[in-house]
Amino acid sequence: MQRTNFDGMACSIARTLDVIGEPWSPLVLRDVWVGLTRFDQIQADLGISRKVLTERLNHLVDQGVLERHPYDRRPRYEYHLTEKGAELVDLLMVMTGWGDKWLAGEAGPPVLYRHHACGQVSSVDLRCSHCGEPMHANDVDALPGPGSAV
């Protein structure tokens, strides 16, 4: 399929897509996050082909998003999120929020999140890290930053 990769682009979205943009990758991360950490568990849960799962896991480990932890004298591994990977799960939570709002339909959201700090079932809100007010797509201007291609 000769997929172009987005490496050359001075764009953090493109770069992030080079890490988790391939099909299945976000779902693999979700599985690891909820505790399905072994090859066959993930494969059975997603119905993904073993070949593709191997490729995805290798890529995610290469990118520092997952780590392999041996759990046997044989080469058997559990996959765990690194810190880098755990912060990607934040992205998945936002994705979940959007899907819950726009796609869940009558049945309602398939999964709920309970926030440890307050104990309530809740969802994520995007706020400005500076002033704490809501921060959405229409509340910002984009400016060229230091890493922009000039």
Is residue 68 classed as helix, strand or coil in its secondary structure?
A: strand
Q: Give the total residue count for the chain.
A: 150
41 binds DNA (CB under 7 A): yes
Going by DSSP bridges, is the β-strand pair 77-81/66-70 parallel, antiparallel, or unpaired? antiparallel
38 binds DNA (CB under 7 A): yes
Is the separation of the CB atoms in 26 and 35 below 8 Å?
Answer: no
Of 104, 69, 101, 81, residue with least CA distance to 30: 81
Residue 73, binding choice from DNA, a copy of itself, none, Cβ under 5 to 8 Å by partner class: DNA
CB of 71 to a copy of itself, least distance (A): 22
With contacts defined by CB under 8 A, name the span among 36-44, 54-62, 71-79, 128-136 that binds a copy of itself.
Answer: 128-136
Q: Which residues bind DNA (CB under 7 A)?
A: 1-4, 22-24, 38-41, 47-52, 54-55, 57, 72-78
